[in-house]
Structure 1
Amino acid sequence: MHFIPASVRGPLFMIVSTGSYLVNDTMMKLATAGLPSYEVLFLRGAAAALWGFPLLFALGYGKQIPLIFDKRVLSRNVLELAAILCYVVALANMQIADSTALGQITPLLMLVGSSILFGERIGGRRMALIGLGFVGALMVAQPTMQGISVYALLALGNAALAAARDLAGRRVSAEVPGMIVAISAVVVVLIGAGAAHLVSERWVMPGAHHLLLMAGAGFFLIFGHFFIFMAYRVGPTSAVAPFYYCFTVWAVISGLLVFGQFPNTLAICG
């Protein structure tokens, strides 16, 4: 795809990433009925690892597996773990519209961070585009925000940590393959979710349908990790960040096709 300009490849990767994450989230939502949250994260991580390591060998990256533990790769993925743990706790205790709305500040934080850390110039047109995307996402989510709670702060923490993760990802050496970074994220979250489960939950035996859903979620999770990392690696933040809001579009499509949730007039306008 090198014949496609980086300013186009980056947004394309972000669109594919948000779609992959949304398929993963949809399967996670279907699987969480009757299972503890961290157990679901652990099972999804185990499924992703079972998909991911054979994929690394198939792509010829077997000898580069030790790069999973590269210092900068791990730094990025520890932030990934912290963001996910914040999100899971927030989502379990808030309306999904509220937690979704708070998550929409991530592209704005990415722009500020890129400007400060990398000296990237952000034009007024792209700032306006991201602001418009933020407003549209709020129109879809329609949060109530009945008071600021510790869970709302965790949702904000998730957004900030997600931005920090992607900024840290830009410091990963270009010699590290994107798929190595994705599988490293899987391993770190697998270990973290397992530890959180042992500390705070009791094991519930999953059924066959849970395992099938986790297998699918794990597969799409790998590509969500891979493409969001590659989006910011190949494209400027100012070009990539606005397309983060494609997640909202995918979420509306999933709600309609999978859960029968037809958006109201305000959401359609958003």
Structure 2
Amino acid sequence: MSVCMAGYGINDAMMKLASADVGFFQALLVRGLFATTMLALIAWRRGALMVSVPRGDRTVLAWRIAGEVGGTYCFLQALFNMPIANATAILQSMPLAVTLAGALFLREPVGWRRYSAILVGFAGVLIIVRPGSEGFNAYSLWALAAVCFIVLRDIMTRRLTASIPSAFVALLTAFFITLMGAVFAPTQEWRPIGGYEIALLGGAACFLITGYTSSVAAMRVGDIGFVSPFRYTILIWAIFSGIVVFGHWPDRWTLIGAAIVVVTGIYTFYRERRLAGR
């Protein structure tokens, strides 16, 4: 899981670097072409390139893809326009939001302890966002919107039957994200892409796929209660790249808010693990 988060974190840093010279949808398109090609090869090797989706799963899969596409769009809007550590820290409230959505929409049992942890965690998000203060960045609202879309993605993922291979779902998602880039890229100025930009976007795709494959391996082989908290190691990569690559030092309120989100998220994992063992 730590390797997974490193892959995602480096992907984010490379995409943010590329955004200085490449348009938003142009970056999505080029990275998507690399990612879709690699995922197609992975799906082909696993025999998941052509899958017959059961009728009952088609609508669920469509909503899952919509959540992934929307989450990608919103998070990259935030990432390209605010410090990487802040955008990443806000996104880490996602497990708390998924737990809350599971209780509200799937009627999953959630006790008062986890509800309390969720409220405290969202308070941590408010500390990071700081609405109404001088440090408020309107693009943080894009990061919050990304959380909502990713919650939709995860809720729909839970409703998919096990007969649909994860590699096929990932390939289909990458295809539609690439399609979004292709459709909207003509609405922006197409900037010349040199070897440096190609290397950044191709590298971002490689690290994105590394994150995906490592996540699947961690969840299949490792104990989910043990490996899940390691998802927060992405904050280490975000803070490190923010300082070293972009010269952004997170302020104390961002660090305090991020710490609250991480602690409450880990506590929620712990409670879910403990209740599952009963």
TM-score between the two structures when normalised by the length of structure 2: 0.71
How far residue 191 of structure 1 moved from its aligned partner, in angstroms, is: 0.5
The secondary structure found in structure 2 opposite 1:119 is coil
Deviations, residues 70-106 of structure 1 (Å, cap 9, x unaligned): 4432321111111222233344455555544543432
Matched, 1:38 2:25: yes
How far residue 49 of structure 1 moved from its aligned partner, in angstroms, is: 1.3
Deviations, residues 183-234 of structure 1 (Å, cap 9, x unaligned): 11110100012222223x1111211121122112112223444566788899
Q: How does 1:106-145 map to 2 (within 5 A)?
A: 106-122=94-110, 143=129, 145=131
| Equivalent residue in structure 1 for 2:76, among 79, 82, 88 | 88
Distance in 1 (CA, whole Å) between partners of 2:249 and 2:83 is 17
Distance in 1 (CA, whole Å) between partners of 2:237 and 2:46 is 29
| Range moving further from structure 2, 53-62 or 91-100 | 91-100
Sequence identity of aligned pairs in percent?
30
| Equivalent residue in structure 1 for 2:185, among 197, 200, 206 | 197
Matched, 1:27 2:40: no
CA distance change for structure 1 residues 34 and 50 in 2, over 3 Å: closer, same or farther?
A: same
How far residue 117 of structure 1 moved from its aligned partner, in angstroms, is: 3.2
Correspondence for 2:42: 55
Structure 1 residues not aligned, in runs of 5+: 1-11
Distance in 1 (CA, whole Å) between partners of 2:121 and 2:233 is 9
The secondary structure found in structure 2 opposite 1:62 is coil
TM-score between the two structures when normalised by the length of structure 1: 0.73
The secondary structure found in structure 1 opposite 2:21 is coil
Correspondence for 1:154: 142
Would the aligned equivalents of 1:83 and 1:157 in 2 still touch at CA under 8 Å?
Answer: yes
C-alpha RMSD over aligned residues = 4.0
What amino acid sits opposite 1:49 in the alignment? T
The secondary structure found in structure 2 opposite 1:183 is helix
How far residue 24 of structure 1 moved from its aligned partner, in angstroms, is: 1.0
Deviations, residues 131-153 of structure 1 (Å, cap 9, x unaligned): 777677888xx555456786444
How far residue 43 of structure 1 moved from its aligned partner, in angstroms, is: 0.7
Correspondence for 2:266: none
CA distance change for structure 1 residues 209 and 94 in 2, over 3 Å: closer, same or farther?
A: closer
Correspondence for 2:159: 171
Matched, 1:180 2:168: yes
CA distance change for structure 1 residues 53 and 62 in 2, over 3 Å: closer, same or farther?
A: same
CA distance change for structure 1 residues 150 and 144 in 2, over 3 Å: closer, same or farther?
A: closer
Size of the aligned set, in residue pairs, is 253
Would the aligned equivalents of 1:24 and 1:221 in 2 still touch at CA under 8 Å?
Answer: yes
What amino acid sits opposite 1:107 in the alignment? P
Matched, 1:251 2:242: no
How far residue 55 of structure 1 moved from its aligned partner, in angstroms, is: 1.8
Correspondence for 2:201: 214
Distance in 2 (CA, whole Å) between partners of 1:232 and 1:130 is 23
How far residue 26 of structure 1 moved from its aligned partner, in angstroms, is: 1.6
Distance in 1 (CA, whole Å) between partners of 2:25 and 2:126 is 28
| Range moving further from structure 2, 258-267 or 242-251 | 258-267
